[in-house]
Chains A and B, each alone.
Chain A
Amino acid sequence: MERIGNWLDERLGLARVWRTIFHRHVPVGLNWMYTLGAATLFVIALQVTTGILLALNYSDSPDHAYDSVLYITNSIPFGWIIRSLHHWGASALVVLLVLHMVTAFGLGAYKAPREATWMVGVLLLVICLGFGFTGYLLPWDQKAYWATTVGTNIPGAAPLIGAWLVELLRGGTEVGTVTLARFYAAHVLIFPAILAFLLFVHLALVIWHGVSVPPVLWFKGLRGWNKGQLDHDPDVTPALDPLVTPKPLDAEQYHKRYAAFKARGPRFWPEVIGDDTKFMLLVFIVLIGLTVVLGVSSEARADPTDTAYIPRPEWYFMFLFQLLKYFPGSVEWLGVLVLPGLAIAVLFLVPFFSRGEERRLRYRPIGGGIMAVVLVGIVGLTVQAFVTTPPTVLVEHGVALTSQQLLGRQLIDQQGCRSCHIINGQGETKGPSLDGIGQRLTAADIHFYMENPKAYNPAASMTPLIPPLSHEDVEAITQYLLTLPPDTTQAKGGSN
């Protein structure tokens, strides 16, 4: 065994790579904030894995996309877990990326010599938001279609090139077959290639420079560190006071000081990975919990003719959605295109705006202040968006319909139920009116009847709904029927 190992190592040199990555020491004094990058990487790995599995059974055409996603969710064993993990993983990725970035900013980790690590990180954030934007069109449901229609319309108001931008994004004037194909290609071919490259550079730079020493410790120096043990060479890490000497240390001073912190620090394997693992495990358990408890809410098939649907973006784009409301139509593009674009550019260039040696947040009032204002702004806009735009999209008879009831409402149209029944004041009278049925029958009875009418009433002439529908579909119809009051016909005043 050892001989095989030695033979391979002489050819491949992997032992050296292993030692460089896993046996390297990291500085003393790291805390939980330093595990966020590893957790982000873990979720990316999870997204790649579940994403590849989803692609095995997905069809990127409007005729089949919705059905193939239903097939994954309902017909393939464990398919719902894979899809739900990918769905929640996307949200977790955004949360972790933002936390990772905010802590890196707070720790001043973007400062010399780690400017490039930060800048590549900002590009990774942009790519991941791109994954989110292209990803949620793919199920081709109502939310996907309408949110993308609105989202791709936004650049349209930009002067001169607006219309051109929209057509470029959509591959045509409407969101349609070509849009779905190019969003899919971006999501599974273009972005992953860019992500792989950026991620490689980001990680290589993390290994090359090592992680930053926590700011307070960096400035205090190592004297007295390690439970009162005297530092063997106090001159290497004298206390710094950048308020007096704001210029960065020169390279030689820096490396000497960093090496002293590193020499006292734990090794990457297994100490640091051990801490990373604890946090990854927590993230994983939360994701599995969300997957099992909440799953993915069922949305109706995309219907470009449905004018009643009010689209909502994913929660992590809600602050942009809210921002849109404060800009009048003619300058809307400033608010949602130029402003976020500038914000990303500023974020990208942060290391050049803030070049002093000082990394302690309490001595960086301008940077800290800007970060606080931006965070409060984004959180505030998001909260405001959710408060002012409740998640319900349709109110009938004073009842705000849930997504399940909306699905039921759409299925009733698709199945042609109104060719026999009056539903919500409209339809034929071959069968009984279903308005107010909730006052005559229980939910279980309604469900059971639609599932197999003859088992409930041998004289029934209605054909069973399962198949072609599933139990979830029938329950959706049931839940919608239960919202109908008995007097819709009178209320309509003979309009039909």
Chain B
Amino acid sequence: MDNQNTPDGPGSGNACGAEESGTTPRRVFLGYMIATAGTFIGIVAGLPIVGYIVSPLFAKPKDGTWVSLGKVDEFSKSNDPQMVQFTLTQEDGWTEVKQARTAWVVPQGGGNFTVFNGQCTHLGCAYTWQTQGEYAGTFHCPCHDGVYDRNGRVLSGPPPRPLDTLQIKIENGQLNALYEDFHLGIPTKVVI
């Protein structure tokens, strides 16, 4: 490290204003050199760091899972919607976990059904079909009083969109649904 400063009094530092504010050409050059090296390190280390942190945002959507809900005959016995609970095995980070999920099966007559994802579209609470009381004949969510009719349309309360329907198929008298979860709290149905 060579020294180009003019000597001055011991301990007093340099008196010259340009020297102190770092505006001599040498200091400006050094400043750029440090900034360049810093930027290089910042980019080479920063890209992986940022990519690593935000990578969950770019994870591909999970494939839906076909679940068997039960016999068509059983669901046809009554006109009331019926709740079905099942367990899904899902990849969760470095593990596989079993998660309990629910769906509602709504008989539409003539062997047709509508199947709803069991989460309220507002914030994901579990709603239920009411047979008596204030909300009789509706799907009611107890968290914030979201109310849907039997076709999933919002009657009152905060839900931003109708209940989420699931794709279904009937095979050998069994009702199956493609179970998927959707982003909550937004007006459009977007699969997670």
Contacts and interface: CB of A to CB of B under 8 A. Distances in A.
A277 B39 CA distance: 11
Given A68-B94, A274-B34, A82 B41 contact: no
B3 interface: yes
Interface residues of B, number: 36
A78 B1 contact: no
A314 interface: no
Contacts of A76: 52, 55
Contacts of B48: 78, 81-82
A466 B72 CA distance: 38
A449 to B, nearest CB: 27
Interface in A263-290: 263-267, 269-275, 277-278, 280-281, 284, 288
Contacts of B40: 281
Given A263-B10, A266-B5, A278-B37, A78 B55 contact: yes
A25 B8 CA distance: 12
A57 B93 contact: yes
Interface string A50-67: 000100110100001001
B61 interface: no
Given A270-B31, A277-B33, A284 B44 contact: yes
Interface of B: prevailing SS = helix
A249 interface: no
Interface string B1-21: 101010111111110000110
Given A23-B20, A281-B40, A232 B45 contact: no
Chain A interface residue bracket vs B: 35 or more
Interface of A: prevailing SS = helix
B1 A232 contact: no
Nearest to A22: B22
B16 to A, nearest CB: 12
A188 interface: no
Given A68-B93, A281-B40, A270 B34 contact: yes
A263 B13 contact: yes
A264 B49 contact: no
A256 interface: yes
Interface of A: 23, 25, 28-31, 46, 49, 53, 56-57, 59, 64, 67-68, 70-71, 75-79, 81-82, 85, 226, 229, 231-233, 236, 255-256, 259-260, 262-267, 269-275, 277-278, 280-281, 284, 288
22 contacts: A23-B13, A25-B13, A29-B1, A46-B45, A49-B45, A49-B49, A71-B94, A77-B51, A81-B48, A231-B7, A256-B10, A259-B10, A260-B10, A263-B11, A264-B3, A264-B5, A267-B14, A272-B1, A273-B30, A274-B30, A274-B33, A288-B44
